[in-house]
Structure formats: C-alpha cells, structure tokens
Structure 1
Amino acid sequence: MSTVLRYGRSALLVEVDDVLGFQAACEAAQPEGVVELVPAARTLLVRFDPARTDSAALTRSLTSLSTVDVSERSADTVTLPVRYDGADLADVAEATGLSVSEVVQRHSAAIYVAAFCGFAPGFAYLTGLDPALHLPRRSTPRTRVPAGAVAIAGEYSAIYPHPSPGGWNLLGHSDADVWDVGREQPNLLVPGTRVRFEAIR
C-alpha cells in the first residue's frame, strides 16, 4: 500500500514500504509529466512539470501502480575493498557479543543495495546489513570522519564520500572513490546498485 501526499506545486511524496520497487514501477509506467524521482528511506519524491500534468492526475496514475520485485533484476555490483581497522570495531564487537573477526565476517558476507542517498553528495544508505550488527549511532558524534570510512548505524551501512562530521560506528576504511565530479556519473553508488565489501589486509 502507498500513500500519496501533495509536496508543493510541482511534486508529490509517496509513502511506501518498498521504495525501490515502487520507483521501478514508476520508471516502467512513465507517467505523463514526471521529471524526477528521488528515493529516500520510506518515501519517493515525484517531481513533475505542471505544464504537462497536475497533482490530481498524477496521483491517480501513481495509486494505480504496483511495486516491482527488483530483488532478481540485473544490477551493477560494486566491490569495495576494506581494511577492517576502524576506531569502533572493538566497541561494535563488544556491543553485539561477537568477536572482532565475526563482525568483519558478517559485515563482508552481506550483499548490500544502495537504497537512497542523503546527508552528503555520494553518501549512499546501504540496506542488507546483518541484523546482528544493527546498532544505534554513537552517543557523541565525531567532528571529523575521514573520506572512505566504512561505517554502520541502525539498519544501514555506508562509506563516507568526503571528510565530514559523523556519528556512525566506524568499522574500517576503503580507498574506493565513491564520489568523483570528474566522472560522467560522479556517484559510484547510485540507488539500486549492489555493493559488496571485501576484507583486505
């Protein structure tokens, strides 16, 4: 089930459980006037051209859609090498009741999907984190987290694209350049991309 809400003059906000699945359905249907789809954790922002459609007509189109199963769809898989030497690795192990090696094994065994981007350009929220590693953010955020830091918080994992403040639990570091304005597509981890972390020494 989805709920469609007005979001200003030229956008609608769709509340839906399977955001990527609903986005895929919308991309396949190509409703008249839609100019951009912006996924988030539980919503899809649908921007439209008011000269080509209106909110009422677009709402009717959106409410007629059913989510598409994207789990088996072909998608790019990006493998990111990680040195698991993060400042919070031992704390994560203690909090979860796992050994450090078990934390590394569980984190690197998962296949993640970039669900949406936020916080900073190129910061992809990756779903698929082992439930045993679901932990809250740190009670005191760091004033600076280095670019390439691989981290977890809540149900997500991520890699910091730039040096920035942050409160996620740091597991390690990758030299992969996930955001590069010199590339045709600056964001390496666009929504829908599958991601693997590969432990290296």
Structure 2
Amino acid sequence: MEPLRTLKVGLDSLLLEFGSGGEVVEAFRSARSRRDEGLLEAIEIIPAARTLLLSGVEVDRVLGDLEHWGAGAGEQQQPELIELPIRYDGPDIESVARLWDCTAQEAASFHSSLEYSVDFCGFAPGFAYCSGLPEGYEVPRLTRPRSAVPARSVGLAAGYTGVYPRASPGGWQLIGSVDIPVWQEGSGDPALLRPGCRVRFVP
C-alpha cells in the first residue's frame, strides 16, 4: 500500500495522504486489522476524504511497515454489512432523477441496487459519507441549503450518500428517509454507521 504522501504530526502521529477515498478505506481497514492482530499500536485511526490519521504510534516503525499493509488474514475478513430500510420520498428525488435522465422510480431502484462503503464520518456526529455511486452520477449540493433537514433523511452530494443522524441544516439533495435511527445519544456506541462498514438501502 503506497500513500501519495506521509506527514509526521507532532511526536507520535502520522498523516497518510491517498489518491482516492477507496484507497483510504482500504488503508483504514488494514490499519484496524493490524491493530486487532497486535501488529500496530495506535490510539486512534481516523479516516477522512483523502487522508488517514494514525495517532499514538511509533512513526518510524509505521513508515517501515506500510509496504506490508493489505497482507494477512485480517484484510480478507468481510466488513460488516448494515441494511437500512428506506422510503424514497424525499423532496429532491425528482430533481435527482432529471440529473440521471430517468424517472424517480428508476432513480430509487438504481440507488437501492448499489452497495455503499462508509469512507469517513464528519459534518455532525454519526454523519457517514458513503461512497458507491458510479462516476457520472455525482449530484450537486443545493444552491441554497435548507435551514432544517429532518433526522434520518437520506441525501446525495457529490459522489456520496449520507443519512442525517439528527435534525440540522443541510445542503444535500434529499431523496428519501430511513426507518431506523443511525445515531442513539447516550448509547455506549451511538453511531450505527462507522468507517469501513458496508451499507445497503432496502426499499
């Protein structure tokens, strides 16, 4: 596994920069597997759109070990699959269908036919950026963001699908809503969607 660039951050952190979100997901899964197997000591492993931050590591040791990432039994384990019941009733489903040159029903069928991967979380606690839309199906953000988006709304922006964990302002185009919470405040593990897991939307 070859990052485009590595950057030492402080005394015990390392930032890895990659060329695509898919490479970040692969690196995140490898890092987590190696930590589980005792091959990597890291306090935190934090993915973003194009980077992976490793904190609490021996930087020189990690740099010398990067070429071995992706090898081993850990990577062969299938990531967790989470199925989200969805209703394609969003106010922007018709607009998205026009962008995709199809009907709203065809847009819903196409979106639900794909499997997605949680690349990283951000914007709000529990908001997962799910990749999986093919090239050419990118959706622009709204010109004027909404002042309030209901919790559990499913939106599209750029090449990502996201589920709003709670009511908040937002500029993603809304195509539907899911029937189960993706964020449970007060729970020991409040986020349903975590980096590295797979997601399917089930009508």
**Does the pair score TM above 0.5?**
yes
Cα deviation 1:40-82 (Å, max 9, x = unaligned): 1211000016xxx3x3344333x33333699963232221111
Cα deviation 1:81-136 (Å, max 9, x = unaligned): 11111111111111221111111011111111111111111000111124453112
Shift of 1:179: 0.6
CA contact 1:116–1:125 (8 Å) conserved in 2? yes
Question: What is the count of residue pairs matched by the alignment?
Answer: 194
**Unpaired runs of at least 5, structure 1:** none
Give the counterpart of 1:75 among 67, 79, 82.
79
Give the counterpart of 1:27 among 24, 32, 37.
32
1:47-196 map, 5 Å: 47-48=55-56, 53=58, 55-61=59-65, 63-67=66-70, 73-196=77-200
Shift of 1:183: 2.9
- Residue type matched to 1:75 in 2? P
SS of residue in 2 equivalent to 1:38: strand
Percent sequence identity is 37
Shift of 1:7: 2.1
Comparing 124-133 with 166-175, greater Cα deviation is found at: 124-133
1:39-54 map, 5 Å: 39-48=47-56, 53=58
Q: Given the superposition, is the C-alpha separation of residues 193 and 165 from structure 1 closer, same or farther in structure 2, using an over 3 Å criterion?
A: same
Shift of 1:11: 1.6
Return the TM-score normalized by structure 2.
0.85
Comparing 14-23 with 151-160, greater Cα deviation is found at: 14-23
Return the TM-score normalized by structure 1.
0.86
- Residue type matched to 2:186 in 1? G
Aligned equivalents of 1:32, 1:82: Cα separation in 2: 38
**Unpaired runs of at least 5, structure 2:** none
- Root mean square deviation of aligned Cα: 2.3
CA contact 2:30–2:75 (8 Å) conserved in 1? no
Q: Given the superposition, is the C-alpha separation of residues 154 and 36 from structure 1 closer, same or farther in structure 2, using an over 3 Å criterion?
A: same
Q: Given the superposition, is the C-alpha separation of residues 68 and 97 from structure 1 closer, same or farther in structure 2, using an over 3 Å criterion?
A: farther
